[in-house]
Amino acid sequence: MHRLAPVALATLLGCATSPYDHAWIARDLARRTGSAAGPQRPTDAPTLPRGVSLDDGLTARESVALALWNNPRFHADLAQLGFSRADLEEAGQLPNPLLTLMLPVASHPLSFRVQAPLEALWQRGRRVAAAQRDVERVARSLVQSGLDLARDVRLAHAEVVLAGERQRVRAEAAATLGAILEVTRLRAAAGDVGDAELESARAEALTARDASLRAEADQQLALLALRALVGFASDPRPLRAVADPLPDAPAEPVADVVRFALSARPDLHAAGLAVEAAAARAGWERARIVSFTAALDAVTLNPVDGLALGPGIIAPLPIFHQNQGAIGRAEAEIEQASWRAIALRQQVATEVTQAHAQLAQARDSLARWRAEVSPSLDRSVQHAEEQFTAGEASYLVVLDATRRAIDGRLRLAELEADVRRALAQRDRSAGGSPR
């Protein structure tokens, strides 16, 4: 029996540790997004993670890496893990013994008492278990925060790419309508067209120029939003977003993506851990019904007999209450956490289904537009310009065809952005790319 005592004591006083630290979060984010979280030291000067260069422009993946490395709000959230790990350290600590010393005054002899709460020994395991689950819950919640940031960055990157394409289309449209204006002026000078058509051509050219300038300003605004997300809001270095090629692989069946999400979403794991932590706290509150404090009294009797030692136990009698309030609160926390986990599970399934439907719709629309609409609009402009140059058609025919072609190119850019947005939402809702 005496051989089991050291084993039992080691079990009671084992180290309160957890593998869920900053390095674990970085590894899990790298597995899910291909990019890890950056250093923990606060700095106002953003740095570049390995493999990211600003010289050739930023892809969406590089933008995500830059944001996880530098975004100050995300790193402020990561500091929450330090609080949870400190709570775990505190949960593993045993209370210090209490020493009461009474000095000899008049007829009162020198005496002292040492008290040590024994209940801390058997309650420690439950406290540590609850704190360990809280550390893991916080770590997995922070991984979800990283996935949310990655989604936001990809959406912002898609907006910058879309704004750049809009600016390019508007600039080309302004150049085209400017060229049409010059041809119209020549024909007006030759008497082939009237003043009304000339003024109409001038108005269209000026309108196109204004739209081009506004598109350029919109691109700068979109870039500012991206710079803020990647931590470059106050950095003078220029950033330029470049489009990633859209994946051609067909979408996975929605049922497969839902199953993947239910097993991979970190916030869903965190919700389950919240239930376990609440259950562990409930067990701890039940264990607090019975508590004992070991006491050792020592009194000086006389110089001959020395100290008189008297061990004892101090224990509150659970007569008027048995910690029902704290136990009831802990049980209510279990119920609340359980319902939240169920609600989140249903929310995950809904988010995945919606994102999958949006992705399928965006891909179908983009494929139809590329295969059918865009070629038809390009041919229409070509024929109208040929007829106008040959004097067989009026300026209005060219203008109408040009307008429809501009709208078509803008719509094509919007559809490509829709696919990028849907991919970002799908990967976030699934807890990472399901491939």
272 lies in some domain? yes
Radius of gyration of the chain (CA): 35
Tokens in use for 214?
Answer: 């506004």
Structural domain total, the chain: 1
Give the global pTM.
Answer: 0.84
317 CB neighbour count, 10 Å cutoff: 5
29 lies in some domain? no
Q: What is the CATH number of the domain that holds 361?
A: 1.20.1600.10
Q: Rounded to 5 degrees, what angle do the CA atoms 160, 161, 167 make? A: 90
18 lies in some domain? no
315 lies in some domain? no
337 lies in some domain? yes
323 lies in some domain? no
The whole domain housing 368 covers 60-96+121-288+328-430
Enumerate the β-bridge partners of residue 282.
none
Kindly write down the DSSP assignment for every residue of 68-106, as one continuous string.
Answer: HHH-HHHHHHHTHHHHHHHHHHHHTPPPPPEEEEE--BT
Task: Please report the sign of the dihedral spanned by the C-alpha atoms of residue 424, residue 427, residue 432, residue 435.
Answer: negative
336 CB neighbour count, 10 Å cutoff: 13
36 lies in some domain? no
The pLDDT profile of the chain, 435 residues, written as one tens digit per residue, is 445 545 444 445 556 788 999 999 999 999 998 888 877 677 777 888 888 888 889 999 999 999 999 999 999 999 999 999 999 999 888 888 888 888 877 777 778 888 888 777 877 888 888 889 999 999 999 999 999 999 999 999 999 999 999 999 999 888 888 887 887 788 778 777 777 878 888 888 898 899 999 999 999 999 999 999 999 988 889 999 999 888 877 778 899 999 999 999 999 999 998 898 888 888 877 777 777 777 878 777 666 666 778 888 887 888 887 878 888 888 898 899 899 999 999 999 999 999 999 999 999 999 999 899 888 888 888 888 778 777 777 667 777 888 888 889 999 999 999 999 999 999 999 998 876
Q: Which of 326, 161, 351, 322 is nearest to 244 (CA)?
A: 161
218 lies in some domain? yes
Q: Where are the alpha helices (DSSP H) in 230-295?
A: 254-264, 266-287
